[in-house]
Amino acid sequence: MGVEEEVYVRNGLFKKLVPKVYQNTCSFTGMNLTSTYRFNFVDACHIIPFSVSQDDRVTNGLSLCPNLHRAFDRGMVSIDGDYRILVSDQLVEDEGHPYSLEQLKGKQINLPGEKKFYPSQENLE
């Protein structure tokens, strides 16, 4: 029972802090979605999965819209050491669509206001 409580606290803190340092904005698209009820619609995404790294530091996180979080977790999008967006060659999509991921390719992500919260270069490798 104590382990479950620890996991809940751990996840709760990471999930709150990462979007906060990114001003509740998707780091890839710049989309800021909240509601008058203070619901936040961006996710805290681990760069290296917690199950692998045991790393819940903000520097192992990105703030992403749910669809980009899913694409990131599946390796369809990523970022390089210069914080530029990478899009997998394995992605099949309508590149002419206004929301295609191909349009994000090569763009720099929106970074947190403070450099100490930037994604860890070590984790990006």
7 pLDDT exceeds 60? no
pTM value is: 0.85
Q: What are phi and psi of 91, to 5 degrees?
A: -75, 130
Cα 83 off chain centre by: 12
Q: Kindly indicate the confidence band of residue 38, based on its pLDDT and cuts at 50, 70 and 90.
A: confident
Cα 62 off chain centre by: 3
> What SS3 class is residue 64?
strand
For residue 95, the model assigns a pLDDT of 82
Find where tokens 């509601």 sit: 35
For residue 2, the model assigns a pLDDT of 47
12 pLDDT exceeds 60? yes
Find where tokens 């619609």 sit: 41
For residue 33, the model assigns a pLDDT of 78
> What SS3 class is residue 58?
helix
Which of 26-30, 32-36, 95-99 is modeled with the greatest confidence?
A: 26-30
Q: How confident is the model over 41-63, as a mean pLDDT?
A: 92
3 pLDDT exceeds 80? no
